[in-house]
Structure formats: C-alpha cells, structure tokens
Amino acid sequence: MGGDGILGNRDSKQSKGSIPRRRKWVKRRETWLVILGVILHAVYMLSIFDIYFKTPIVHGMDLVSPRFSAPAKRLVLLVADGLRADKFFEPDSEGNFRAPFLRSVIKNQGRWGVSHARPPTESRPGHVAIIAGFYEDPSAVTKGWKANPVEFDSVFNRSRHTFSFGSPDIVPIFCGALPHSTWNTYPHEFEDFATDASFLDEWSFDQFKSLLNRSNEDPQLKKLLQHDNLVIFLHLLGCDSNGHAHRPFSSIYLNNVKVVDHIAERVYNLLESYYKDNRTSYIFTADHGMSDKGSHGDGHPSNTDTPLVAWGAGIKHPKPISGRDHSDHVLRFVDEHLHDTPTPEEWGLNGIERVDVNQADIAPLMSTLLGLPCPVNSVGNLPLGYVDMKEEEEVEAVLANTKQILNQFLRKSQIKRSSSLYFKPFKPLAHYSSMLSQIEDLLSARDYKAAMQLSENLRNLSLKGLHYFQTYDWLMLMTIITLGYIGWMVFLVVHVLQAYTSLLGDIYTKEEAVRQKYNTGKVYLWGCLFMGITSFLLFLEHSPPLYHAYFAMTIFLWTQIFNEHQFIKALWRHLSGRKFNYVIKLLTTGVVSVFILEFLVHSFTERKLYTWCFLVVGAIASIYLYNLIPWRSGIPVFVCLTCWFLSLFTLMPAEIPDNNKLVIASGVIITLIGFTAKWLDLHADGNKYWLGICTHDMKQSRFPMLFHLQALMVGLSSVMVFLSTSHRTEKQELHAIHQLMNWFLAGFSMVLPLFSDNGLLSRLNSIFLGFAPTFLLLSIGYEAVFFGALALVLMAWILFENLLPYLSKGKTSSASRKNLNEHIFLENDVRYLQLSDVRIPLTFMVLFNVAFFGTGNFASIASFEISSVYRFITVFSPFLMAALLIFKLFIPFMLVMCAFSAITKLLQVQRLGCYFLVILFSDVMTIHFFFLVRNTGSWMEIGNSISHFGIVSAQVVFVLLLFALTNIYTKDIQIRSANPASRKVM
C-alpha cells in the first residue's frame, strides 16, 4: 500500500528483531551528527570574522614625520559620552541654549560641525575612532569592548605626555599600558543608573584641577606641564549614564548638557590663566549619541550624529557661509549621511559655516595641531576646514596624512604578496612612487593647488586599496563555505531518510549494503588525498588555521555524501518508480516549505509580515476546524481569536515604551489564563477533543496547593513591579528589600513547575505560571502582554495537533490501520516520520521567530533595553545586566520549546528527528542570509545582515540548548488517551 512516509512506504518489511540494532546505529550516528553540526556551525560562523570582521590593523609601518611646525604646544580633548548633536545645539523649551559657552566659541573663536560615528555606536569603538583614527576591529565586540584584541597606535602614544581622567571602562584602554601618561578613574560603583550621574563629570574636572594646583608645589610636575606635545583628555560619562537611566528627553540628561558646557568653560579658563601663551588647542566632541529610548549601538542619526567644536591654537575662526564645495568632502559619511545636510533652523547657526567630519578624521586633526605623526593605522582624512595654517603647510599636512595611509596599503600588499602563490595586485596604485615624485615636484614648483589635489587623489586610492586587501579572500571563502552548508544539508536529509523513515528498509537491499561497505574505503581514500593537497596549498600560502578548518569541513561533508552514493542512487530509482501524484505531493510540500522559510527570511527586516501571517492562519485554521468538529467545543473560535490577538504585537513599535500599568495588568491577565487552563484541565472529562492533554483520569496531585502558590507568586511579582519602580522613581535608588524580594520571586518561581502534575495541560500551565514572575519583573511595557498572547497561541497549536487523529480517523480503514500499527513504529510507541509531519518543524520555526521578533528587533544592538533590569540591579555591571537581558529573551523561547516537546509526545514522533528537520530548515535560511550579507552601504546595514546570519546559524546550538533545558520540565509529561490505536493513525 502507498504511504505517507517521507519518501517511503509505511508498511516497511523490517523484522522486529532488526529494530533494536537499527536504533543503536541511529543513536550512535545522531550523537556524532549533533557534535558535527555544532562544530560546523561554530566554525562557519567564525568565517564572518575572516570576511567582514577582519582586523584592519597591520604592524611594521614607518612613521611619517611631519614637515611643518606645530601650531599648538598642547591639546585638550573633551569627550561627552553619549551626547546627541541635536540636544547639544538646540534650545530648551524657554528658548535658551543649553551650551552657552561653546556656542560663544562657535560664533567668535572656532569652528563647528557634526562628527559622524560609524556603528556599532558604542563607547569603545567611538573612542578608538577619535583617538586612534580607525574604526574598531568588530571582533572586539566578543570582548565587551574592553580588552584590546590587538595593540594599536593612537595620538596618546605619539604625545610627549598624556593626562587623562574619567571612566574605568575607557581611560585604561588608552593609558593603562602607556608609560608616558598620568591618569585616574573613579570606581565602577560610581556608575549607578539610579542617580544623577553628572557628578562623574565633575569628578573628572576636579581631578584635572587638583593636578594643576599640585603642580605649584611639585617642580617636576610643573616642568612636565611646560613641555610641548601634551594631551589632556577628560572623559565625561554623565550624559551616557543619565541617557540610559532617564532618557535623553529627561531634565536630568538635558541638565547634564549644561554641566559639560560649564566644564568646558572652566577647563578653558583654567588653562588660559595657567599658561597665558595662546598655544593650547581645544576639541569638544562625543563618542556616540543616544536614542529616544535611552540606548545606542545602531546607525540611527540620533546615535551617529555627535557635536564637534574646536577652537584655540591652529584652529580657524568662524566663517560666514559661502560655497559648500569643500576639498575634504566625499559623497557620504561613514554612517551613510549626506554631506551638506541643511542645519536645522532651531539650532540658530545657519549663518556660520559648518564643517562635518567622519569620527576618525579627528585623530589626524589632533596630530596635525600638535605636529605629531598620525597614528599608523589611522584611516581618517585631515579636515582642512578646521586647520589654520599656511597653504604650503596645509599641503604638507595632507601629504603626511596620505603617506601614512599609503604605508598601510603597501604593508598589506607586501604581506599578501609574500604569502600568495598567485598574487593579484591593486592596479590603480601600481605606479604610486611616480605619483609621490610628481607631488614633490609640484611642491618644489610652489604649485600648491595641484599638489593638494594629487595628494588627496592618492589618499583616496590608498583607502580603496586598503579595502581591496581587506576583502581579498572574500570570493574564495564565500564559495567554500556555501559548498559546506549545501553539503551539510544534503547529508542531513540523507540521515533523516535513513534513520527516521521506513525508506531504508524499502529500497536498500543487502547486496547494496555490502557493495556500499566495499566502496567506502575508496571514497575515504580520495577524500583524504584531496584534503591533504588542499591543506598543503593553504600551508604554502601561510593561510590562517581557520582557512584549513573551512576547507576540511567542506571536504569531509562531501566525502560523507559520496560515501552514500549507493543509497542516493537507490533513492532516485525509488522516486522514479512512484506514481506521478505522489511526486507532485512531494514537490508541493517542498515549495510550501521554501515559501514559509522565505517568509521568515523577510520577516527579519519586516516584522509586520507576522501580523498578516497570524490573521490569515487564524481564519483558515478556524474555518477548517469548524467544518470538522462541533462548534460548541469552542476550539475553532479559540484558535482564531488567539492568532488574531498575537498578530497585534508585531504592529507595535520595536522600541518598547515604558508602561508599568500595563505590566501590572499583565499579571492579572496571566493569572486569569492560568485559572482558565486549570479549570479546563479538571472539568473536560468526557470531551474527546481534550482527552489527550488533560489529567482528569490521572491519580491525585502530589502537591494540591502548588497551582495556588504559583498564582500567588504571579500576583506578588505584579505588586513588586509597582513597588520597586515607584520607589526607584521617587527616591532615585533601588531599595535593598525590593531587590532581594525580586530575586527570590524570579528564582523560586522557576523551580515550582518541576513539582507539578505530569499531564500535558497541567505541566504546561505550571511552566507558563513558573516563568511569568521573572518575565514580569524584567518587563517595561507591552512585552508582558505578549507573554500571555504567545502562550495562548501555543495552546491553540497543541489543540489543533490533538484534533488531527480524530479528524483523520474516519479516513483510514481498519485493515490499513492494523497494518500501520504493526510496521510504522520504531520503538516505545514512537512512529516513523511522515511527509505531513513537516508541518511540525515549520510551525515551530514560525513561532520560534515570533518569539525572536514579537516584541522588537532581536537583531539590532539598540533593541536591548537596559532599563528592563533595573528591578534587579542599578549599579553598572555589564555581564550581569547582559545575562538578565538574554534570559528575558530566552523565556518566550522556553515556552515555544516546551510546547514543541509536548506535541512530539502527543503525536508520538521522534523529537530528535524533528530537531534535525528544524536545523535543515534553519540552514536553508542561513544560506540565504549568507548571500544577503553586505559589504557595501552603511555599517548598520552590514551589521544587521551579519547578525541575521549569525542568529539563524546559531540555531543548531541554540535550539539544542533549549531542548536540554526544557527537557528538565517536559521529560515526564504523560499523554492520556482512551483509544491509543486511533492516535497512531496519522
């Protein structure tokens, strides 16, 4: 009889004695397959560091000594961490400007503009761009922007001495290993988000002021302060901390803008009265901005646009607006914002020339002002709009900047040439030496305009050359990794067909098995030979160890596939012999699966697709059920309403607005859902549509009061949301007793589901109530309601799957049912996978992705709302805060995974077989995202495309980890049914 098995008949001819041997083989194979999958995805995920996150830093270049006199003896760098450009320049509600001193500087003494930061707009990469002149190696994100992945040069390194005061997260990066520096930082405990953090800025100023006062009694310090090439760096963290805690529209943040302006004024007055020589340059800027919800990290203008004000020695004076065609302009800035963007009217600066820069341009500016060599890894262009020098010196300064970038290009070219068997040079710079000679000739002839133009052209070519070598191996790596993913997917399909369907016994004879064993040695020999040749060639090219791993993984997978060539041939013969309508059914399933996966791919960038998805699915599912079961059961209406309810959340803003009343109300909603589920669990006796998931025929509960305890804890968590938030808002601190109570509720509630009844509905209800207190305490708005809505949809999914045996019961004859009962089961009442079972992993993936994106954009750095953890901790602790945020994101996944595990038990399918199908579908998306990864456009677009690839690629580990965690809660779930035989007929 034709069956519905995945490419196989259900009436397998295997003997009962062969089943235990088969299961041992499957268990051994799936163990190493899981290990292989984890290793493969981990190795291939690392490829993005070789392709897109490759460090731009090279060593071994010579310094380019400037051939002009330094305009300044010392330079002051003031960085207001987290200061937005618009909040700095715009007036307050009363029409007064928040930075009166720096506005007077803009109008009377110096130059101004907007400094454009490149994402990730975080503190460390922002400061590296300002002080070292290059955009941070993104691999540093794995180290929290703290430890130096590689040593790099900076303006501080080139100075005679650097004085630095500020945050313990920033100052030690640049001064910790610098012998010619004097620095100090405040303790980490000072960074408390529950207070007004402007005192941190005052601390930095007081440290500097006391240094100058101490010099009057310390002759050595006095002498040191009189040297040239000094750098003074004050890191002002107040705006960043206050922006996170209170938002950039708050009075505390806006008042902090006045504080940093006042500090800039006092630093200026202090130094001018101390030195009295007019040889000090001042630069005021910020490392990044702040979004409206108090976060940063992405490429939104509120995060990338920062103020820049420069004045003092070597800085041009204000200039009325004239032509907009500046020689240092390119088409776009690093954040993709256009040049010559109109200045907002409310800033009141339309009559004064504005000179915008890339953030990395500030480093060569500081080096030029002090007459120092540019940092050797800097990629910044000297902004001539700020520098007040003679025309000849301007050309010399730009030429020094050009030579420094050219040296990086030449060093990268030399390194690649020395290690490549076939080297492809960057042709536009093949004659760079003649271009340098031509510039020197023009300088000798005093043709400064032509020399300037040629120097800038050479600089732009050098930057393109750096990009060329940064992406030199891109095509080769993309090809080998794509082949590796395809090989993994093919091998996964072969394993699922062999291990979890009846196909192996149907088409694979003993003779073929013997022939397969005979040919195995030849296949492995050729595979090893090819791998050896490839490794030898990579060794000759001095390729990184990971290159060897990429090739080895891909060759190994395809060797395994060729090793199964007899099975693949037999499979092809089997399909060729099937009826045409079955092939059509198979192709239709494949097309629908690909359509759903492509839908999920596009949902990563457009959350609203889920709204349409659940509106349509809710309507179709309810109509389908309405025609097959009595309407009085209420199940069709329940399925429709829950899907429509969940569809609302992906219409809501990704930036979750604060709404504590909604969080508290969510506690009531969650409790009502729990009581309803408990009532149905106890009073559904006799209703066959609830039969498999209820506990009405099970023994007396071990802990009768457990449910009421869990409901009480949900209520207490709602109360604690109100108390701890109100107290922190009023007193500007988190009360210790509230903090302890919140930790207790979160921890204790998650243990209770382990002691609940092991009926399906009873256990899932207990898990839902067990994770609710933790989720409520970590919620700030509508995501608390999403938790209940997701649980209702999961319940609708379980009900739908529970009904399928009864819907298909009448379609299957008793004779075929008897035949199926004998042959379609593997062991322990776990049956073979059928073609129709593809719906289970596909539905799981849709709900799993809704858990990702239902309440925001998981793929964006800025979506991590730090205020979510303020009921547990307010003192800055990045690892603990990140752990709490990640655990909050885990909780919806835990619900989805528990429902998935329960359904596999309900339908008696192999959970690990479904897991492999999930990974197979995830890798279809992974390959798509791998081709969607961008190396052009804004860094935000590039970063988002890489994060999408990383998310789906990590699902092999992520889903496996969730399997292990949820198995603690779901392993002893028992399914009750009055007629087990009917349940086996799918």
Lowest-pLDDT choice from 281-285, 493-497, 566-570, 958-962: 566-570
pLDDT at 141 exceeding the cut of 60 = no
Residue 980 pLDDT exceeds 70 = no
| Span(s) in the chain for CATH 3.40.720.10 | 74-323+344-389
- Residue 21: the pLDDT is 64
Which pLDDT does position 193 carry in this prediction? 73
Structure tokens at 508: 């694979």
pLDDT (0 to 100) of residue 861: 42
Instruction: Give residue 978's pLDDT.
Output: 42
pLDDT bin (cut points 50, 70, 90) of residue 505 is low
The average confidence (pLDDT) of the chain is 84
Q: What is the mean pLDDT of residues 125-149?
A: 69
pTM above 0.75, yes or no: no
Weakest-pLDDT range from 121-130, 282-291, 593-602, 864-873: 864-873
Q: Angle, to 10 degrees, between the axis of helix 100-108 and the axis of helix 251-275? A: 50
- CA 821 from chain centre, in angstroms, equals 47
Decide if 733 contacts 195 (C-beta within 8 A).
Answer: yes
| Beta carbons of 286 and 248 less than 8 angstroms apart | no
Measure CA 256 to chain center: 30
The answer on pLDDT for 825 being more than 60 is: no
For the CA atoms of 693, 699, 701, 707, the dihedral, rounded to the nearest 10 degrees, stands at 20
Q: Is the pLDDT of residue 34 over 70?
A: yes
Instruction: Give the tens place of pLDDT for each residue, 553-595.
Output: 999 999 989 888 878 888 888 777 777 787 888 899 999 999 9
Beta strands in 227-371 (DSSP E): 230-236, 280-285, 305-312, 357-358
The Cα–Cα gap between 817 and 682 comes to: 32
| C-alpha of 35 from chain center | 24
pLDDT of 2 reads 41
Least confident of 23-27, 253-257, 581-585: 23-27
Residues 613-667: pLDDT tens digits?
999 999 998 888 887 776 666 788 889 999 999 999 888 877 777 788 888 999 9
The DSSP string of 425-471 is --GGGTTHHHHHHHHHHHHHTT-HHHHHHHHHHHHHHHHHHHHHHHT
Closest CA to 674 of 753, 782, 781, 741: 753
Nearest by Cα to 399 from 342, 327, 454, 481: 454
Q: Where are the alpha helices (DSSP H) in 541-577?
A: 545-563, 565-576
On whether the CB atoms of residues 362 and 132 are closer than 8 A, the answer is: no
Rounded distance, CA 808 to CA 304, Å?
Answer: 58
R_g (Cα) of the chain, nearest Å? 33
Report the pLDDT value the prediction gives residue 243, as an integer from 0 to 100: 93
CATH architecture label of 74-323+344-389: 3-Layer(aba) Sandwich (3.40)
Residues near 382 by Cβ (< 8 Å), separated by ≥ 6? 328, 361, 364, 365, 368, 397, 398, 401
What DSSP designation does 338 have? B
CA distances from 821 to 691, 805, 914, 978 (A): 21, 14, 21, 16
Q: What angle do CA 41, 44, 48 make, to 5 degrees?
A: 130
The phi, psi pair for 912, rounded to 5°, reads: -70, -30
Coil, strand, or helix at residue 233? strand
394, 395, 396, 399: CA torsion to nearest 10: 130
Backbone angles phi, psi at 221, to 5 degrees: -65, -40
Does residue 944 register a pLDDT over 80?
no
Q: What mean pLDDT is predicted for residues 274-298? A: 92
Q: Say how many Å lie between the first and final Cα of the chain, rounded.
A: 15
- H/E stretch holding 592: helix 580-603
Q: In one letter, which amino acid is 632?
A: R
Model confidence at 494: pLDDT above 70: yes
Answer whether 154's CB lies under 8 Å from 131's CB: yes
pLDDT confidence of residue 822: 40
Residue of 983 and 720 predicted with greater confidence: 720
Of 82-91, 331-340, 363-372, 943-952, the one with minimum mean pLDDT is 331-340
Q: Phi and psi dihedrals of 78, rounded to 5?
A: -110, 115
Q: Which has more pLDDT, 434 or 50? A: 434
Give residues with Cβ within 8 angstroms of 919, minimum separation 6.
Answer: 37, 492, 955, 956, 959
Can you name the residues that pair with 524 across neighbouring β-strands?
none
CB 68 within 8 A of CB 397: yes
Residue (of 291, 262, 246) closest to 87 by Cα position: 291
Model confidence over 862-873: pLDDT tens digits?
455 666 788 888
The pLDDT assigned to 733 comes to: 67
> What is the predicted pLDDT for the residue at 827?
55
Least reliable range by pLDDT among 271-280, 810-819, 935-944, 975-984: 810-819
Q: Answer for the pair 784, 671: CB distance below 8 angstroms, yes or no.
A: no
